[in-house]
A and B are shown apart, each in its own frame.
Chain A
Amino acid sequence: MTRVESFRKTFGEALLDIAQGNRDVVVLDADLMKSTYTYLFASEYPDRFIQVGISEQDLICTAAGLAIAGKLPIASSYAMFIMRAWEQIRNTIARDRLNVKLVGTHAGLSDYLDGASHQCIEDISIMRVIPNMAVTVPADSYSLKTLLEQGINYNGPFYMRIGRDYAPRVYSGDERLEFGKVSVVRDGCDICIASCGIGTYLSMLAVEELKKSGIDVALIDLHTIKPLDKATIIKIAKNTGRFVVVEEHNVIGGLAASLAEILSEYYPCIIKRVGINDVFGRSSRDYISLLEYYGLTTQNIIKSVGEVINEV
């Protein structure tokens, strides 16, 4: 039975560990600390917690100022509302390569009940086009903690996208995950599924099913969308020759697009996209139904793999 954890709770707890080892860490919030779990940090380290109220532009630039002064600011909010300050991120944080860590919670469809206004399906795309910006999407709590720690040690602007709660375990906790490197979950030679975030768990289930049908599927977890591990991706492309990409993001501009950009230049091959098909989200009483509504299911991944294998 897969253990299911919570992204945001893991994030809140991870901050406590990180803060313990680094006195420069300052956490900033825009009146969402109870939702993002940064309240854990706020109550433990009130002197290192900055509350700017519901003002994301101010949040981003205040973090910038703290970084200029030598602090290690971690600013978090819902992914959607961090995007509200995209221009501040681009012009102040990224342009000056400031050491600010941004964590967007409730990404994708994971804020199921709040609906389209809160569900962010564009952030991978618009964050990765900013020069100097690193973009990561952890698949589970282990990946989140590991990448966050590595992100803290990485000197430069860093964006992490996480879901709200539903975080089934993908990794046992013994794996060596490295920021900037593809994590090969499973080797295979017929086709490769590339995924990130919750997509990796859904893909893992699909891989198990496909194995039963005798299809040898590779699965790579592309937790670091930028900088992208070009060499490994090209190597895998040469082995498998075709891809299905699974992401809880618009099919435009996200992980699939990142892959396509590299492969069309170095090793052109078919890339089938499983994601949100350029439409907005909507409210749902539960998360799984919403993922199903938009085709983010194990069945759909299996179907897509079949289509690619039959076509090519």
Chain B
Amino acid sequence: MHVIGQNNFKHKQGSVGYDNRKFISLEKEATGDIEILSSLGLITIDNKYNTPDIRLSRLGQLVFELLDESKIYRSMFQLKSKLLKEKLENVLSEIGNKHLASSITCINILLAIFERITKRHIDGNNGDEDVVILSKGHAAPALYVVMKEYGLLSHNLLNIGKIDSPLQTHVTAPNRYIKVSTGSLGQGLSIANGIALAAKMDNLNIDVYVVLGDGELDEGQIWEAALTSTTYKLDNIIGIIDRNNIQLNGYTEHIKRKEPLKNKWIAFGWHTTELFDPDPYLLLETIDEVSVIKDKPKMIIVRTESELKR
């Protein structure tokens, strides 16, 4: 059987639904196939009119949704995020729920990054390896959980913080995918700049991801580094701000004002995108989109649910 209308279901960015009428009309010559589909209960045919009105049945809709690869991918990705958050909660309970919010809100960010790294690696990227820097090093548990998911960490996550465990509560190098230790805030972007500069010198095709906390933006060094990135046109840097609106002692806007955040990054010469409560798939798509932009470093501000009480 020729696969009807498969093209209609090829992934289109941002589109999740489809017009089933259009779908059927495109394929109306294929009467033999229609009979098969009808006998399987995937479509309904109403012969009241001159031209038969052919529609997808409920079952048909489900089947075709499943054929929509991007949609399956997206659902699986969402499921993965949910499962990882549960795992993370177990890990965090081992250390008294230290920095819980900060870890939870950056799960999706790290998930998108490691998914992209894995994909790029499979697709072949000249063997050059992307670099992830978790500048908000207190979210180490989230990093460990995501890395474990991708088979990049072998340690037992539940041993985090135990005196004989290599899993420190703040990110500690070295590991092939953890290039630098963090924990003291505000230093990740400068480090990313250094790696990005070296990659430019060596003509390496890598992306350097740096995950920043919103509270962390209080550190002046972030803004020193932001200008170094633009001065050197470091378009191999993809910054992601976990804008969860919480820092250690309260809401970010009470402690030190960050808004208007997007305008600040734009003013500093960054290509800046803002996402509102994105699922990891949208994040992945956005990273893909911005990664090709030339001559500017890229910042993605990820606003998450917990930002409501400003």
Contacts and interface: CB of A to CB of B under 8 A. Distances in A.
B198 A61 contact: no
A64 B194 contact: yes
B184 A91 contact: yes
A73 B197 CA distance: 12
Contacts, number: 104
Interface stretch (B49-57, B61-69, B219-227, B276-284): B219-227
Interface residues of A, number: 29
12 contacts: A53-B227, A55-B221, A55-B227, A57-B220, A58-B224, A65-B192, A65-B197, A67-B194, A68-B179, A69-B197, A88-B184, A91-B181
Contacts of B195: 65-66, 68-69
A-B pairs, 9 with minimum CB distance: A65-B194, A61-B190, A69-B198, A55-B224, A58-B224, A65-B191, A57-B221, A66-B194, A62-B194
A256 B80 CA distance: 59
A67 B232 CA distance: 18
A124 B228 CA distance: 29
A91 B170 CA distance: 12
A61 B181 contact: no
A67 B194 CA distance: 8
A92 interface: yes
Interface string A167-208: 000000000000000000000000000000000000000000
Contacts of B184: 87-88, 91-92
A91 B183 CA distance: 8
A212 B271 CA distance: 73
Interface-centre pick from B173, B181, B191, B193 (highest chain A CB count, 10 A): B191
A71 B174 CA distance: 17
Interface of A: 26, 47-48, 50-53, 55, 57-58, 60-71, 73, 87-88, 91-92, 95-96
Interface-centre pick from A26, A53, A71, A92 (highest chain B CB count, 10 A): A92
Given A58-B221, A91-B184, A92-B187, A65 B198 contact: yes
Interface of B: 131, 173-174, 179-184, 186-187, 190-199, 201-202, 220-221, 224-225, 227-228, 231-232
Contacts of B199: 69
A97 to B, nearest CB: 9
B174 A61 contact: no
A28 to B, nearest CB: 9
Nearest to B192: A65
Given A57-B190, A58-B190, A65-B190, A50 B197 contact: yes
A92 B180 contact: yes
A26 B195 CA distance: 12
Contacts of B192: 65
Given A61-B221, A65-B180, 10 more contacts: A55-B227, A58-B224, A65-B198, A67-B194, A69-B199, A69-B202, A88-B184, A88-B221, A91-B181, A91-B187
A88 B186 CA distance: 10
A308 B47 CA distance: 116
A130 B198 CA distance: 27
B190 A64 contact: yes
Nearest to B220: A57
Contacts of B228: 52-53, 55, 58, 62
A157 to B, nearest CB: 13
Contacts of A48: 201
Contact of B191 (A52, A62, A87): A62
Contacts of B181: 91-92, 95-96
Nearest to A30: B224
B247 to A, nearest CB: 19
A66 B197 contact: yes
B25 to A, nearest CB: 56
A71 B187 contact: no
Contacts of A64: 180, 187, 190-191, 194
B172 to A, nearest CB: 8
